[in-house]
Amino acid sequence: MSFRICLVNLLGFCLIFYEDHGRFCLDTVWQLPKPSISHLKAVNDKQSLLVSWLVKHSDFVGNIYEIQISRTENHTVIYNRNISLFSMDSNEYTWAWTSELPLECVDHSVRIRHFSNQSVPSPWSNWVTNDGVQPTDKTKLFPNQRVLREGTSAVFCCVPTRGVSITSITLNDNKSYIINIGARVKALKLDNLTIPTQRIKVLSLICTDSTGKQSYAGKYVSFPPQKPRNLSCATSDMTTVTCTWDPGRKRDQFDRNMQTRTLHIENSDQAPIQCEQSSCTFSAIPQLKEYNISVLVKDQLGEETESYSFNISDRVIPVVEWGRVSPGVTDTTLSWIVQANLTQLNLLCQVTTDPGSTTEMSCNSVSGLCKVKLELLPNTRYSTRVRCSVNGRLWGEWTQPRSFTTCPLVTLDVWRSIKQLSDPNSRQVTLLWSLHVSDSAATVHIQGYIVQWSEAQNWTEWKDSGQTQAEVSIGPGQYEFTVQAVLHIDSTIFAHITIPKSDGENRPVEKRLNSSTPAGFNLSWDQLDTATCGYTVEWCILGHAVPCTLRWMKVPEGNNTLFLPARNFKEGCRYTFNIYGCMENGHRLLEIQTGYSKELTSLQSPNLVEPVQSTSSSVTLEWHYNEDDPAHPAFITGYLVMVQKVGSDMPSDLFNVSVADPRRKSVTIEGLQQNQEYTLLVSALTKEGPGQPASITIRTRTNYSAHLAKILIPILLLLGCTILLWPQRGR
């Protein structure tokens, strides 16, 4: 009776509010249909359940579904959630749930029910179960995947066979707190996973069951892929493109989280390209200039993608390889090859030298061979590198340094000595040459010399590297001589000299040098307007010694002085300097100057002429001496005659007589005592003093007329007196 009364009251209430709320009343009364789960799919590697059920497009859409998830055969609810559905594109709705516990550990069941406007729910659907693993032979350990994500939490479980239970779980040799999952399954949870520090970066998990058996599993901890950074692409030949990126965090060499990297050309139908860790190379697509690419990095823990767009013409980085380095003395030629045909592009290259600077140049050779000549210093070691670019946008890598040494500054100096033969139409020319190297420490290798001369015809003669002169017989005409030094570096050095016609020129008068100092010779001569190519001074390095080893020195035009340091000359040795003027038709002898770097007094004594003429009061002394002998250690300026009375040490009995003319070789010494012995010494004089003397001892003659006068005068006086007094005798 009470049920009927309630029903009547409810119907009356609905009739009163039917106009505005009729549908609500009907909904309240009607029972919602029992939902049905159409699919339950387990994604074990992600520990996820995918639940799908049918949803009818009706006014019920937009209401709420309640979902429950339970574990074990006892359906212990571990998760409960309400979800709202709004507009739908299909009749089936799929919802995903991620389990903290691996799905293989135990059974996981799902059921749902439907709420309409959060009021009367529908009946629960039937439980749909994803069965856990049921081992038959040994204990199983989960999760199955060997790589776990760093920084996350992980639950490990041990599933024994039927009738067996788990007694302990050991992680890295440490027993851990066990979580009971159902009657038989045991688990443990590890928060904030970190990568082990030992060499083999693995978590060691051991499950021990009630029979004493142990099951082992190794779990690796890693980190998910990182988004490629600084992605860029370039080509060296317009046919192959290489893209590179920063892969980010470095992985340990024993990391088991293997990655795959693929490059996708989005604006083409080309298949994905497998890549290396930080680079990818693919063939350029013909006619395609603009590229839209993406790089996908994927591993067991996820994936990351980076995109990049470029025009291939703007991403050309030329690759250069060395060609040849050809060092010279003050310059060096470098060549290199730009790989691939880039002639249609504006190719720029930079060459840098150390020490030195950087040179930039354009290179548009069809063959790809580029050259540059650099002005450098002689005998200097350099290191050089080169790189190239298209329009200066992207510069290629510098080549490996190439080291080289420029050649020493080597000059070839040539001179000649001309000897007139007995035949007036024949002369003998001794052609001499010498190499001058700017750096005394440098080593120059000479293969040999080529001597060429010409008048009406040409002659050539080869000389070995050790030779420095050549003897050539010529006629009276003008000849042109060239000496060519062949170096080991496939280069040559030339020197030229003209032999003038034989015109019987008069030999200049020899001049004595009075300006020599202990420091050396100061040579000077009169300027000659016709000496348009300077002057040459020659001398024998051993002075007057025979044979003469000739040396010469060139003096530039406009200079008429030359200083020769004394260290190259021997004291007491006379040197003769022949000064030539260089003219258009050859060298002409202008002056002859002779002198000593230092005069010495070690002169030979003169040869006295005997017998010596003497009187009772004078002596005439004569001697022989070659005052012009070049072997003298000094110039003869005269002679010194010393007279000393024998047996007397009185200064008054010693006197000197100087002869200022070196060509005068006699002297008469007056005022000597008769019948007296004297020692006479004669030595040659130089500006440094007298040399070795020649000596002779003589006795002056007796003056008999004086004695007779002494006797006769008294006799004559006596006779005179006798005569005068005789007449007075008789008185």
pLDDT tens digits, one per residue of 239-280: 999 999 999 999 888 888 899 999 999 999 999 999 999 999
CATH hierarchy code of domain 31-130: 2.60.40.10
Beta-strand (E) ranges in 236-301?
A: 240-246, 260-265, 273-274, 279-283, 290-299
CATH hierarchy code of domain 229-314: 2.60.40.10
Buried b (16+ CB within 10 A) or exposed e, 398-414: ebeeeebebbbebebbb
pTM of this structure? 0.54
Inform me whether the pLDDT recorded for 26 exceeds 50.
no
Inform me whether the pLDDT recorded for 29 exceeds 60.
no
β-sheet bridge partners, residue 203: 219
Share of the chain above pLDDT 90, in %: 50
Which pLDDT score is estimated for 30? Answer: 59
β-sheet bridge partners, residue 596: 574
Pairing status of strand 320-327 against strand 358-362: unpaired
- Within 10 Å of residue 123's Cβ, how many Cβ atoms? 12
Q: Which amino acid is at 246?
A: D
Q: What is the pLDDT confidence band of residue 31, given thresholds at 50, 70 and 90?
A: low
How confident is the model over 143-153, as pLDDT tens digits? 887 788 999 99
Contact 505, 484 (CB under 8 A): no
CATH hierarchy code of domain 510-596: 2.60.40.10
Which of 49-58, 283-292, 304-313, 416-425 shows the lowest per-residue confidence on average (mean pLDDT)? 49-58
Which pLDDT score is estimated for 119? Answer: 64
Mean per-residue pLDDT of the chain = 86
CATH hierarchy code of domain 140-222: 2.60.40.10
Which pLDDT score is estimated for 2? Answer: 42
Share of the chain above pLDDT 70, in %: 91
Inform me whether the pLDDT recorded for 163 exceeds 80.
yes
For residues 468 and 731, the model is more confident at 468
Contact 334, 386 (CB under 8 A): yes
CA dist., res. 193 & res. 205, Å (int): 14
Calculate mean pLDDT across residues 561-582.
92
β-sheet bridge partners, residue 582: 587
Which pLDDT score is estimated for 291? Answer: 96
Which of 142-146, 278-282, 677-681 shows the lowest per-residue confidence on average (mean pLDDT)? 142-146
Q: Which amino acid is at 729?
A: R
Contact 579, 509 (CB under 8 A): no
Which of 97-111, 412-426, 687-701, 702-716 shows the lowest per-residue confidence on average (mean pLDDT)? 702-716
For residues 33 and 81, the model is more confident at 81
Which pLDDT score is estimated for 27? Answer: 44
Residue 278 DSSP one-character state: S
Which pLDDT score is estimated for 507? Answer: 85
CA dist., res. 114 & res. 129, Å (int): 19
**In the chain, where does the domain assigned CATH 2.60.40.10 lie?**
31-130, 140-222, 229-314, 320-389, 410-499, 510-596, 607-704
How confident is the model over 682-694, as pLDDT tens digits? 999 998 899 999 9
Rg (CA), the chain: 63
Which residue has 């009729």 as its token pair? 22
Contact 362, 283 (CB under 8 A): no
Which of 122-136, 158-172, 340-354 shows the lowest per-residue confidence on average (mean pLDDT)? 340-354
How confident is the model over 590-613, as pLDDT tens digits? 999 999 988 888 889 999 999 989
Which of 88-102, 436-450, 522-536, 595-609 shows the lowest per-residue confidence on average (mean pLDDT)? 436-450
**Three-point CA angle 187, 302, 70, nearest 5°:** 35
CA dist., res. 283 & res. 305, Å (int): 21
Which pLDDT score is estimated for 432? Answer: 94
Which pLDDT score is estimated for 410? Answer: 83
| Nearest CA-CA partner of 327 in 226, 410, 207 | 410
Q: Which CATH architecture has domain 320-389?
A: Sandwich (2.60)
What are phi and psi for residue 438, nearest 5 degrees?
-65, -35
Which pLDDT score is estimated for 12? Answer: 39
Which pLDDT score is estimated for 89? Answer: 65
Inform me whether the pLDDT recorded for 646 exceeds 60.
yes
CA dist., res. 433 & res. 446, Å (int): 13
**Three-point CA angle 717, 723, 727, nearest 5°:** 150
For residues 12 and 457, the model is more confident at 457
CA dist., res. 547 & res. 127, Å (int): 129
Which pLDDT score is estimated for 711? Answer: 76
| One-letter-per-residue 3-state SS of 328-384 | CCCEEEEEEEECCCCCCCCEEEEEEEECCCEEEEECCCCCCEEEEEEECCCCCEEEE
Q: Which of 537-551, 578-592, 647-661 has the highest mean pLDDT?
A: 578-592
CA dist., res. 62 & res. 68, Å (int): 19
Which of 195-199, 271-275, 525-529, 664-668 shows the lowest per-residue confidence on average (mean pLDDT)? 195-199
Contact 582, 533 (CB under 8 A): yes
Q: Which CATH architecture has domain 607-704?
A: Sandwich (2.60)
Inform me whether the pLDDT recorded for 412 exceeds 60.
yes
CA dist., res. 322 & res. 342, Å (int): 17
CA dist., res. 155 & res. 214, Å (int): 19
Which of 82-96, 240-254, 278-292, 627-641 shows the lowest per-residue confidence on average (mean pLDDT)? 82-96
Contact 641, 659 (CB under 8 A): yes
Inform me whether the pLDDT recorded for 675 exceeds 80.
yes
Maximum C-alpha span of the chain: 251
Which pLDDT score is estimated for 540? Answer: 93
Inform me whether the pLDDT recorded for 560 exceeds 60.
yes
Inform me whether the pLDDT recorded for 641 exceeds 90.
yes
Q: Which amino acid is at 69?
A: I
CATH hierarchy code of domain 410-499: 2.60.40.10
Contact 111, 66 (CB under 8 A): no
Q: Give counts: helices (H), strands (E), the chain.
A: 3, 52
Inform me whether the pLDDT recorded for 128 exceeds 90.
yes
Q: Which of 102-116, 194-208, 509-523 has the highest mean pLDDT?
A: 102-116
| Nearest CA-CA partner of 500 in 591, 411, 420, 412 | 420
Q: What is the pLDDT confidence band of residue 3, given thresholds at 50, 70 and 90?
A: very low
Contact 664, 685 (CB under 8 A): no
